[in-house]
Amino acid sequence: MLLVCLAFIVPALGAFSGTVAVLSSRAAPLAETRPKTVSVESQVERVRSLYQEAKRVFMSANQQEGAASLPQLKEARRLLEEALVILQKIRDDFDAREEREVAEGHSRVIDPSAGCNTFGGGGDLETDVIQLLIMCRSALRARP
């Protein structure tokens, strides 16, 4: 009788341990697919350098009078518009990544309380770019 019981229990234990192995092998990929941080520092640094260059060109153009400053103002505007395109691409990439992560069952990737315009560094980079672009466009309209 004992032998008959062991004949049923041993295969059952083997099946149970195989199930545990399968469950643990399924759990491992979930840990590997957790959201990873995305570094946008190189893109933000590119935006900062474009902003600084545009600011320098704009200040130089403001020292000149008349039509002589038009090429510099146009260059500053082009640099600022390029910076805005990069900022929008960063935002679009974050939105697409967040949608993908939420679809895969992960929680929010971006903390909405962090402020999406700051991009680190303590200042509001996008606002600075937009304000300088407005000043540049106004200066272009004021020139003959």
pLDDT tens digits, 54-79: 999 999 999 998 888 999 999 999 99
Examine residue 21 and state whether it is found in any structural domain, yes or no.
no
Domain assignment present for residue 84? The answer is yes
Does residue 47 sit within a domain? yes
In a domain, 34, yes or no: no
Q: Confirm whether 33 is domain-assigned.
A: no
pLDDT digits (tens, 9 = 90+) for 3-44: 444 444 444 444 443 333 333 344 444 445 555 555 788 999
Residue at 11 is within a domain: no
Work out the burial of residue 63: count CB atoms within 10 Å of its CB; fewer than 13 is exposed, 13-18 middle, 19 or more buried: exposed
Structural domain of 63: 41-142
Tally of CA atoms within 13 A in the half-sphere of 129 that contains its CB: 25
Domain count, the chain: 1
Position 87 in a domain: yes
